[in-house]
Structure 1
Amino acid sequence: MEQKSENLAGGTVSIGKARAVKGNQVPWKERIAYAMSDFGCNTVFQILGTYFLVFCTDTLGVAVAATTGLFALTAIIDSIDGVFWGQMIDRTHTKWGKSRPYWLWFSIPFAVFCVMAFSAPSFIMGSETAKIIWIYIAYIGAKVLYSAINIPVTSILPALTSNPKERVTLSTIRQFFGNFGSALFLPLTLPAVAFLGTMVGDGESGTKSAPGWTIWAIILGVITVIAMFTAFRGTNERVVTRDSKRSVPMRESVKAIKGNYPWFIIIFINFVFWGAFAIRSSALPYYFKYNLGQEALGSLTLLGTVLQLATTALVPFFVGRIGKRNTMMIGMVGTILSQLLLFLSEKTGGNVPIILIAVACFYLSQGLIGALIAVMLSDAVDFGEWRNGIRAEGFVTSFSSFSAKLGMGIGSMILAAVLAMGHYIESTGGSAVTQPDSALNSISLGFIWIPLLGYVLSAAALAFNNVDKFEDQMARELEEKHARELAE
């Protein structure tokens, strides 16, 4: 066995070509059940992230400046609720385990608040203040409850298996199903809303129909609940450790991130990457509607989410040959290239073929990234226990949701602020709106340049993650430690 030593945040460990951990193989039925958790989360939450701002401005007629405060407040709340849910998971002991019960308890309330976020009850329509209060309650409630069901999706992964390769497989299948949910429902949203609005006949045209949005949100909410219940029934928390059988207090949980540089890196990436993603996603409908004058093409490009399925399915293949970090780096470089291609298309007068190539490049690259973030967080859980002797799945992984939601909240806030500074004109009623050049420039900034900066920063941080070099040794030693603890 080839061995060498490497300094790791103040300590020296032996690194070698250790054998991969065997066993703890998760059956296919359970793999699919676990994947349904991400399918359920993405089904309606992706719609919320992409179209909520458009619904507020173009259907409810809320001033874009008013939404800036909402996203700022949500970002503050997200900095608290993620850690709260993480601590709750670490203190939960039920016959179902620590993470699974949250899918049973909170999936229905989450769906209800998502429906509220796309509803326009008559009692709020006559008052700007009432509209603002309504969207604040609905959006904040949806975001908080999303943490309640999404943090367990990540925190349960280290409990499903201790095998690093099996974790990649689980996360890949989960991401595949999550991407499938996006690929299926995002492109359908605008046509479905327009169709449902016409069926209801509320007098509004196309995607301005509030009942159309509400009915579509109800359909997606029901699918979300069914998917989360399926995940609850079909998974099993099989990795039992000393810490998983007791309530880990906060003062001990914090020790799990002491010197845990893989955790700091992935949390930073989670914050910056998903913040950039949120800005780009929210700016997309505006960009295609106003900058290009091709709103239908914007919906069509969302079909590109199908391409994520292909590269997501290939993640285990790439990881087995070049490692997790290098696989994710290819994805990061691809997202950077896609933004540069969008700039090229803009410089050539909105060249549609270049736009389609850029969109394809983006989604193909995204498929290599999403599946590996959860795996790297599981690595951080193991690293915290390996280095510090404390295993706190809930606390360590809760910062995944915290950092992603904080990034997405700040991203949405930045886009709203940029649109307001560009004097964006809210579109209500049936008449078309001509945006000033300043608004078009702001939309371009939100769709191309700000996301590009986020992807560059994410790639730079990823370059410092070297867990691949010693993950097999770490997994083997932790399994031996867990066996000793359980025997005692």
Structure 2
Amino acid sequence: MSEKVSQLGDRAVSAIQNNVGQALGLIYGLGMLTWTAFNQMNSNYWSYFLTEICGLEPTVMGTVKAVTGVGEWFFVIIAAIIIERVWLKHGQYRSWLLVAPPATFVCLLMTFVDPVFLDMGAKTAWMIFFQIVGGFFSSFFMIAATSIVPVISRTEADRTLLSQRKAQGNMLVKVLFAAISLPAILAINGLVYRVPAGENAQNAGPAGFTVLALVFGIIMIVMFVVMYKRIDGMDPTQKICEERAAAKKRGEKVPPLAAGEKVGLGEMLKYWLTNLPAVIGLFAEIIRFVAQMTIQSMAMYVFTYAFGDVAMAAVMLTACNVTGLVATFVSEPVARKVGIRATYLVGIGVSFAFSVVCLFVGASSMMAFIVCICGIYFGMNFMNGTMMGMQSNAIAYGEWRDGKTAKAFIMSTFQWCPKIANAVAGLLTGFGLAAIGFVSGMEASPELAQGMVNIICLIPAVCFGVAFAAFFFGYRLTPKKMERIAVDLAAREAEKGADGK
């Protein structure tokens, strides 16, 4: 490598040195953390808000969530195409970090407002409209924020740092959100409606939910503005976009960008579908989310019918989140030592091992079950901690192989993972419960307990086994290969710069 680097000159040497410092990694992690906090309002409280505050029937609430889920999935694709084709003033990716968060904030805040002046049909339409539009705008800055990783990073170490900070921020905020959100809602409602916290203060009105969403949303906007300012000059399209915007402002005629600068829809699909590491990475992430959502959706059943202590479900999920947070910090030095691919495989292997152990000992005691599920979460967050670096390596590989890539479109496909996994996990757990003869309210029995433990462990075990084989054979981007790719891309950049002079 050193011999080849020496032939490239100072420009290429700079291109393959680390480009992301701890300060940028921290700002990036905090920005993504604040979005997770704002989005946790939707994940944790929106269903409850729709039925208990807005008065929608449970079936209507279910319909609203189904319609908005399909709508958001569709608009993720549209947002990715727009990012690839429409370059705004401050860069193809960077611009959206400034424009999209305020629009997202306004729309999603409206989903935590009770429009009492509307009838139930109009309320339903209100919620569907603002949720889908808010999800649409959030797709812009989330795709841009993840697409900027392969843009501003030059080495696997850069991608590891950004990926770990995102994962650490996400896990940290989930732990903190679980601790402070409900007490904050109860306290705000207690002040506004003068209802004691112990007397269902959460149902007194929308104020607690609205104010908390308002606070999290404002913090999110501020942090994305900070991130936008911090990556000034790091989006390679920024200069050309700002020059074109300035020319338009002066009244000059600005010709369209050269065809080679943008990627058409056909090319996007081609670059994605022929990029085996990207497709395998997407498959592995869907598997991870299927396992995670199976555990989350089955936890209440297991603790109600197998262990007879439903309150321990919340304890287990909190323990899992804390374990996951620890895993993101442990996986960082591991990834730096052995590389992203090996670390991701370790995560799959650990999760698979604990899933199998849980099949045999999970029903024997509540503590054994909790330890096994925490072990699964530990492995999954090894995967989570390297996930974005894994995706970015796949994009760098595609650019190295083809000379061109569709970063935003490929990154957007990873936004599908939780949506696809939610549907798959729902089907698997539903049919699984039917297969073991479960009926709501039935008496607990050892056979029922083992059946439920089988569902919550067998589905993840099969998923992780398949994912390990697919990732081991299909994702071959080792640190050595990524080092060679970085050198070759640096050489191309140096040659391009020399030709432009």
Instruction: Report the TM-score range of the alignment, normalised by the length of the smaller protein.
Output: 0.7 to 0.9
Aligned partners of 1:33 and 1:235 also within 8 Å? no
2:95 and 2:452 mapped to 1: Cα distance? 42
Q: 1:456 to 1:52 in 2, by over 3 A?
A: farther
TM-aligned CA distance change 1:332 to 1:112, over 3 Å: farther
Q: Which of 436, 461, 465 matches 2:470?
A: 461
Q: Which residue of 2 aligns with 1:234?
A: 230
Which residue is 1:255 aligned to?
270
For 1:96, the aligned partner's letter is: H
| Cα gap change, 1:458 to 1:50, in 2 (>3 Å) | farther
Match of 1:319 in 2: 335
- In structure 2, give the amino acid aligned to 1:308: G
Within 5 A, what are the aligned runs for 1:182-193? 182-193=174-185
Q: 1:87 to 1:408 in 2, by over 3 A?
A: same
Aligned to 2:143: 151
Q: Of residues 311, 316, 323 in structure 2, which corresponds to 1:307?
A: 323
- Give the partner amino acid of 1:384: G
Matched residue, 2:8: none
Identity %: 21
In structure 2, the CA distance between the partners of 1:309 and 1:475, relative to structure 1 (3 Å rule), is same
Does residue 1:33 correspond to 2:48, yes or no? no
CA distance in 2, matches of 1:57, 1:50: 13
For residues 442-469 of structure 1, give each alpha carbon's deviation from its aligned partner in whole angstroms, at most 9, with x where no partner exists: 9979865655554444334322211115
Deviation at 1:74, TM superposition (A): 3.9
Contact 2:101 2:220 in 1 (8 A): yes
1:357 and 2:367 correspond: no
Instruction: Decide which of 263, 284, 287 is 1:272's aligned counterpart.
Output: 287
Deviations 1:348-378, CA, capped at 9 Å, x for gaps: 3xx4423442343244223211122211211
For structure 1, which segment, 21-30 or 363-372, has the greater mean C-alpha deviation from structure 2 after superposition?
21-30
User: 1:466-485 maps to which residues of 2 (within 5 A)?
Assistant: 466-468=476-478, 470-485=481-496
Q: Following the alignment from structure 1 to structure 2, what is the Cα–Cα distance between the partners of residues 444 and 193?
A: 34
Please say if residues 86 and 395 of structure 1, whose CA atoms lie closer than 8 Å, have aligned partners that are also in contact.
yes
For 2:218, the equivalent position in structure 1 comes to 222
Tell me the residue number matched to 2:498. Answer: 487
Q: Which runs of 5+ in 2 are unaligned?
A: 2-12, 242-260
Task: Provide the secondary structure at the position in 1 that maps to 2:484.
Answer: helix
Equivalent residue for 1:93? 87
Give the C-alpha shift of residue 270 in structure 1.
2.6
- Aligned pair count reads 459
Give the AA of the match of 1:320.
R
Say whether 1:43 aligns with 2:54. no
- Choose the corresponding residue for 2:412, options 395, 398, 411: 398
Residue pair 1:151, 1:400 contacting (<8 A) in 2 also = no
Residue identity matched to 1:458: A
Structure 2 CA distance for aligned equivalents of residues 30 and 186 of structure 1: 27
Q: For the residues of structure 2 that align with 1:46 and 1:424, how far apart are their CA atoms?
A: 31
Distance 1:345 1:227, change over 3 A: farther
Maintained 8 Å contact 1:186/1:302: no
Q: Does 1:76 align with 2:70?
A: yes
Instruction: Tell me if the contact between 1:71 and 1:413 (Cα under 8 Å) persists in the aligned partners.
Output: no
CA contact (8 A) 1:276 1:454 kept: yes
Farther-moved stretch of structure 1 (383-392 vs 22-31): 22-31
Residue matched to 2:251: none
Displacement of 1:185 after TM fit?
A: 1.0
1:161 is aligned to 2:176: no
Structure having the higher Rg: 2
Cα distance in 1, alignment partners of residues 453 and 49 from structure 2:
20
1:241, distance to aligned residue in structure 2 (A)? 8.0
Answer yes or no: is the 8 Å Cα contact 2:362–2:372 preserved in 1: no
The CA deviation at 1:322 is 3.1
Contact 1:46 1:186 in 2 (8 A): no
Which whole-Å CA distance do the structure 1 matches of 2:385 and 2:122 have between them?
A: 40
Cα root mean square deviation, aligned: 4.1
The alpha carbon displacement at 1:393 in A equals 1.4
Q: Distance in 2 between matches of 1:63 and 1:35?
A: 38
- What is the Cα deviation at residue 131 of structure 1? 5.3
Partners of 2:62 and 2:200 in 1: how far apart? 27
Contact 1:172 1:371 in 2 (8 A): yes
CA distance in 2, matches of 1:310, 1:412: 28
Cα separation, 2, equivalents of 1:56 and 1:343: 37
Q: Output the amino acid matched with 1:462.
A: F
In structure 2, the CA distance between the partners of 1:460 and 1:480, relative to structure 1 (3 Å rule), is: same
Give structure 1 stretches of 5+ with no counterpart.
2-18, 426-433
Q: Quick one: distance in 1 between partners of 2:456 and 2:202?
A: 21
Deviation per CA, 1:364-402, whole angstroms, max 9, x where unpaired? Answer: 223211122211211121122222221221122121213
Deviates more, 1:60-69 or 1:90-99: 60-69
Aligned CA distance change for structure 1 residues 196 and 354 (closer, same or farther; 3 Å):
farther
In structure 1, distance between residues paired with 2:466 and 2:204: 39
The Cα of 1:338 is off from its aligned counterpart by 5.0
The 2-side partners of 1:87 and 1:148 are apart by 10
Please give the alpha-carbon distance, in whole angstroms, between the structure 1 residues aligned to 2:54 and 2:355. 31
Q: Is the 8 A contact 1:277 1:408 kept in 2?
A: no
Matched, 1:366 2:361: no
TM-score, with normalisation over the residues of structure 2? Answer: 0.77
Cα deviation for residue 205 of structure 1 reads: 1.0
| SS class of match (1:26) | coil
Shift of the 251–266 alpha-carbon distance from structure 1 to 2, 3 Å rule, reads same
CA distance in 2, matches of 1:445, 1:52: 30
Mapped partners of 2:57, 2:437: distance in 1: 11
Give the deviation of 1:423 after TM superposition. Answer: 13
Match of residue 389 from structure 1: 403
> In 2, distance between residues paired with 1:123 and 1:295?
38
CA contact (8 A) 1:43 1:185 kept: yes
Tell me the secondary structure at the aligned position of residue 470 of structure 1: helix
- Asked whether the 8 Å contact 1:339–1:358 carries over to 2, the reply is yes
1:163-187: per-residue Cα shift (whole Å, max 9, x none)?
A: 1222112221222222222221133
Q: Is the 8 A contact 1:75 1:405 kept in 2?
A: yes
Distance 2:379 2:20 in 1: 27
